[in-house]
Structure 1
Amino acid sequence: MVRLTWPALLTVVCAACSTGTAADTGQDAAPRAAPSRSTGGAATTAFAPYVSATTAAPTDSAGAPSTYNLAFVVAADADSCTPTWGGTAAYDSAAVKSRTAALAASGADLRVSFGGAAGTELALACGSADKLAAAYAKALDAVGATKADFDIEGGALTDTASVALRDKALATLQRSRDLDITYTLPVMPDGLEKTATAILSDAAEQGVELSAVNIMAMNYSTSDDGDMGDYARQAARAAHDQISGILGLPSAQAWKSLHITAMIGVNDVAAETFTLADAAELRRFARREGVGALSMWAAFRDRPCAAGASTAKASDTCSGVEQKAGAFAKALAG
């Protein structure tokens, strides 16, 4: 999902205090929505942000998440089938166990996210479906999670052998344990691209039961320099129709099986900024349509940048827009 590197993620620090300007009240831009009259029929939309599995941030609990997406499990190296957190921390690290236990103590569920933009996804490193299934299971069991997210991007999108291997491994795991699986895939304003729909088709053919498809409503292209809130809604509508068709779901169920993740604040593509107003409108849209969950990259970015810091490019420690700490979480959670 991220276009930021893991080593930076591991060094999350407090960026700065608010400057005290009028814009700091932006977190109030998300009034609580009225009861849904959605065509999808869902009364609520969950909030499930991405967080660092290794490093706590003061904004982790903002918005009272129902699920934490723990980023990211990848292979120890390109030739290793050993799961690690970001390629650096052991999958059974005592520090990670302590960190995730504290998150779970809030009453929220834990979802282990495999893949991401940096490192080697395990399906690219493991030599067989059985070995791959065992690697996924190790990471899940180490933190006591029964939910898994697979953030498939970069080279993993087009590597058809790894796509098939992953689905075979996941189908095997679901036959032996209760495992809730989501796929996180890149999207454009007009929907999922062919590489992403091919991944969903393979999962369906191999019998992988997906609880949701999570679209990365972010980092489109330099030509997509319009309103990021509008783009997110357009992408969601198009992806809903694709999910409905590929997975054979009725409209209401397809909305429930759709999750939307925004990259808050300044994105990695120039001219793309997802604002607090965009977050509030996306929340209203999600409730109206019955979207299953909203997420964000990431909890540790949900804070203002230090006074004088450049906001021309995306930062891994702050949003790049004027806000109070936790404002995006509150807007997306409603």
Structure 2
Amino acid sequence: MNAQPPTRAAALRGGLAIALVALSAATLNASPAGAAEPAPMVVAPYLYNGWGSPPNPSTITDATGVKWFTLAFVLSNGNCNPQWDGSRPLTGGVDQQTVNTVRGNGGDVIPSFGGYSGNKLESSCSNAGDLAGAYQKVIDAYGLKAIDIDIEADAYSDPTVQQRTVDALKTIKANNAGLKVYITIGTGQSGPDTSLINRAASSGLTVDAWAIMPFDFGGAGQNMGDLTEQAAEGLKSALKSAYGYGDDQAYRDMGISSMNGITDNNETVTVDDFKTILGYAQQHHLARLTFWSANRDRPCSGGPADSCSGVDQTDWEYTSVFAQYTG
């Protein structure tokens, strides 16, 4: 994405100038190899084995081409010990099977720590060293390339927990070269609360994407695509202020984690809204583009709660929109 056009110095020599310039123009206008492919790690819908008739990731991959999934949620079992949903074994169970299936299809998973409900490791671990150790258990168990820290509710609102999380992630970044770290936070319509962003910046923590969740923020009856762009611009301003970034760098350090269909607050995020979000992401080269959740990316037909979007759609239609993202 940061590649510069090749020098045209040679194209200005002798009688070959016109031909070489034409060739150069054709080369620059052609799509590079793989340009039409999804941005693999960037587009990773949340998949949750805890409810909602979890879909087989192979079905989604076959239908959309999306191969990466954000696997939710790693929580505390009441102590500083990571388990899926705080109750399922870290390895050997259904979540391990999902990881194996995704990897068998040529993709990979991004475990998400936290979420809105349940016991958070960030709160249960008494210090940053122990929290980093809990994160590391999961990284080592699966040989991970990326993790997502979805910090919400009481874990977000506690300054001590915020600082503990920041310090633990500094350790993780130092000890795991190449590991991508995403942080996911809530937002208002004008952008997110900036306390965690400012704390991270002042502590010297940089991450691969700060992703906002632009839903459940009073958007009922409004255009959720437009509100998402508005909130994302607020995130851009927050990153510029905290880190001293220019516009382009801020955008490339941002992510959007939307919700498909009818939200908990009766907002409606339509397929067309996802197309608006896709266009915004393409324009600004966002670092993460995901949504809650793959379980819900189906029309409703009397299945269990949270197994459908609540809107008129085809199977995996929302995923198919984000699958077009190329970074």
TM range (shorter): 0.7 to 0.9
Q: Does 1:322 align with 2:312?
A: yes
The equivalent residue for 2:296 is: 301
Structure 1 partner of 2:22: none
Contact 1:97 1:142 in 2 (8 A): no
Q: More deviation in 93-102 or 295-304? A: 93-102
2-side partners of 1:35 and 1:218: how far apart? Answer: 38
Paired residue secondary structure (1:90): coil
Measure the CA separation in 2 of the matches of 1:102 and 1:267: 29
Q: How many residues align?
A: 283
Q: Which has the higher contact order (CA 8 A, sep 6+)?
A: 1
Which aligned pairs between 1:163-174 and structure 2 lie closer than 5 A? 163-174=162-173
Shift in Å at residue 224 of structure 1?
5.0
**C-alpha displacement at 1:56, in angstroms?**
4.8
Q: Which runs of 5+ in 2 are unaligned?
A: 1-28, 32-36
Q: 1:218 aligns with which of 205, 215, 226?
A: 215
* Counterpart AA for 1:63: T
Deviations 1:293-318 (A, max 9, x none): 321100111001016x89xxxx4100
Distance (whole Å) between structure 2 residues aligned to residue 105 and residue 256 of structure 1? 30
TM-score by length of 2: 0.80
Look up the match of 1:147. Answer: 146
C-alpha distance in 1, partners of 2:174/2:274? 38
Larger proportion of helix: 2
Q: Give the counterpart letter for 2:148 in structure 1.
A: D
Distance 1:248 1:49 in 2: 30
Aligned to 1:177: 176
Q: Which residue of 2 aligns with 1:110?
A: 109
Q: Structure 1 residue 192 and structure 2 residue 192: aligned? A: yes
Runs of 4+ aligned residues of structure 1 deviating over 3 Å after TM superposition are 43-46, 53-56
| Cα contact 1:75–1:84 (8 A) shared by 2 | yes
Structure 1: gaps of 5 or more residues: 1-33, 37-42
Q: After superposition, what is the alpha-carbon deviation per residue over 1:156-177, rounded to whole angstroms, capped at 9, x for unaligned?
A: 1111111111111111122222
Q: Which amino acid aligns with 1:242?
A: A
Offset of residue 259 of structure 1? 0.9
SS in 2 for 1:151: strand
- Write out per-residue CA displacement over residues 108-161 of structure 1, whole angstroms, 9 at most, x where no aligned residue: 232111000111210100112221111111122222213111111111111111
Equivalent of 1:208, from 205, 209, 222? 205
| Per-residue deviation, 1:66 | 5.2
Contact 1:51 1:60 in 2 (8 A): no
Please state whether the residue corresponding to 1:47 is helix, strand or coil: coil
Query: What is the distance in 1 between the residues matched to 2:241 and 2:174?
Result: 25
Equivalent pair of 1:264/1:319 in contact (CA under 8 Å):
yes
Residues 145-154 or 85-94, more deviating: 85-94
State how far apart, in whole Å, the 2-side matches of 1:84 and 1:227 are: 38
CA distance in 2, matches of 1:242, 1:155: 22
TM-score w.r.t. length of structure 1: 0.78
CA separation of 1:35/1:293 partners in 2, compared to 1, >3 Å: closer, same or farther?
farther
Distance 1:253 1:48 in 2: 22
Write the mapping of 1:226-245 to structure 2, written as runs, cut at 5 A: 226-245=222-241
Write the deviation string for residues 280-304 of structure 1: whole angstroms up to 9, x where unpaired.
Answer: 1211222122222321100111001
Question: After superposition, what is the alpha-carbon deviation per residue over 1:233-270, rounded to whole angstroms, capped at 9, x for unaligned?
Answer: 11111211211221222211211111111110000003
> CA–CA distance in 2 between the matches of 1:98 and 1:35?
41
Deviation at 1:226, TM superposition (A): 1.0
**Preserved CA contact (<8 Å) 1:101 1:143:** no
State the partner residue of 2:257: 261
Distance 2:69 2:141 in 1: 15
Higher radius of gyration, 1 or 2: 2
